[in-house]
Structure 1
Amino acid sequence: MNVRANLPRIAPQCQTDAPRTSVILVHGMLASHRSMRPIADSLSGVGMHVTSWRYSTLIHSIRDHADRLARVVLRHLADRDVETLHFVGHSMGCIILRQTLLRFRLSGARFVMLAPPNGGSRLTRLPSGPLARWFPPFAELAEHRDSLVNRLPSPTGLEVGVVAARWDRVVELEATRLRCPHDHLVVSATHQRLPGHEEAVRQVQHFLLHGCFDRPAVTRRRAA
């Protein structure tokens, strides 16, 4: 993907000897960038340049987070050393990325979602009462059709893969799916442990390298 066309003029960053593939990682609610370290290490190991974005998960809305993240995306797109830009999110991080990427046209980019609440999160069924206004993401991730997440347009111009957790108590399996073409894989893990699960990490790397999940390997592992 050539990302240099039709971009705003921003001061270039330091030059390197060769174009690189960059990946932006976004962690989930009540987690930190450290939760994405196994994925970061895996991608760095195959020569990708990784940025693990940090944010406070509860006190700002998804739209506010997306505004901040958009500036990070712009810096990557303006960097002449970046030839390819991909994205990996976990849980709410996937929805922040979806909201962010609405403002960009990134044909050829790849986006892996880990346990995404694309249809809302079952955590939002818990009564929040007057505390709701202090935690905007709970309303935005609600399961009803008028919530922010259920009104988000489907990603376009991206190759999308979804890794769902088989034992997920935060997001229903069906709620991880999108209303647009995407590769979908279920891994035997819990919601919280998915970013560090060996098979999930390996599948993220495979999707970003090849644009699909490694299904023959999954079949072999189940048969072993």
Structure 2
Amino acid sequence: MNQKAIVSTNGDTLNVRATPDGVIVDVLDNGTLVEVVGAPVEAGGFTWVPIGGDRWVAREFLSVYTPETEGDAIPGAKVVATQTEEAIAGGLKVYRTELIDAGGWVVDTVRCVSGRIGQQVPSEYPGSQTPIPFGLYKFDIPGAVEAAPGEFGGVWSAVTPTFETYRGGFGIHYDPSAFANTDQTGTAGCLATPTVEERDVMTDFIVTHAPIYLLVQKDGDGMTDENQ
């Protein structure tokens, strides 16, 4: 869940502390590029993030580093799913899925899968049961997670492509068949979390942050006064 950020203090230096709200061990100049390497911690009225080697800074004085890629240009909270070459459950490609809040911060990362085993190249053919096509989608109802039985694993958030495609009926859900090793392992074309734990993380993010967009892409695409 590492994420690059830039020190943004309006010209002053930023204190680096040994622990959240702890002893000052260093300072960073405004504009310094850092890498956040762990989860945030609340202390002393600020949100502290680790930047490596027992070094913590207040996140309020960082800005998310946004290179010119498609995903970074999308406004608001969003889900960004990147298809990788890693495979689980006998052949389902893993989508590294970042859950990003409205400020551009990665709240969490989960795995997702899409399509059936042996059908792992997206297709425009309806009923192909291949992965969800690459592109940008909008959540039909931001923040909504509907109850859905059977193959949908109890949760469903519908999304609609912003581009033309012959396929439809897309959404995010949980795939209880992911590790079943049957001809129904995987999804018919939706994006799905493969475990209950990841389902719950995704569900909590959708309900809490109400993401507006889902971006599906292939790996490699460019898509205080004391300055705590």
Same fold (TM over 0.5): no
| Bigger fraction of residues in strand | 2
TM interval, short-chain normalised: under 0.3
TM-score (norm 2): 0.24
Q: TM-score, normalised by structure 1?
A: 0.24
Between structures 1 and 2, the one with greater helix share:
1
